[in-house]
Amino acid sequence: MSIEVQTITRRYLYNGMTLPDIPGHEPKEVRDVYSAQFPELLSADIEVGEISDGVQEITFKRAVGVKG
């Protein structure tokens, strides 16, 4: 029995767009980098999906709040 190493590609999704991965960074750090371009990401939730065919989808969901 041998162990097989499989490369996992992360795909970041936000508002219908696919954002490129930033290797070596955690999803929270990637969110913080993209918040310079999309300020609403500062309060976004991160949903990490299952790995399917070597691809893991990570979705940034805008937090829905009520203005006071």
Provide the residue-wise pLDDT of the chain in tens; the chain has 68 residues. 789 888 899 999 999 999 999 999 999 999 999 999 999 999 999 999 999 999 999 999 987 765 65
In a domain, 50, yes or no: yes
In a domain, 29, yes or no: yes
The DSSP bridge pattern shows strands 45-52 and 17-19 to be: unpaired
In a domain, 26, yes or no: yes
What would the two tokens of residue 15 be?
């508002």
Number of domains in the chain: 1
Contact 39, 14 (CB under 8 A): no
In a domain, 67, yes or no: no
In a domain, 19, yes or no: yes
Host domain of residue 49 = 9-61
Contact 39, 31 (CB under 8 A): no
CA-CA distance, 7 to 65, in Å (whole number)?
38
In a domain, 56, yes or no: yes
| pTM value surpassing 0.85 | no
CA-CA distance, 49 to 51, in Å (whole number)?
7
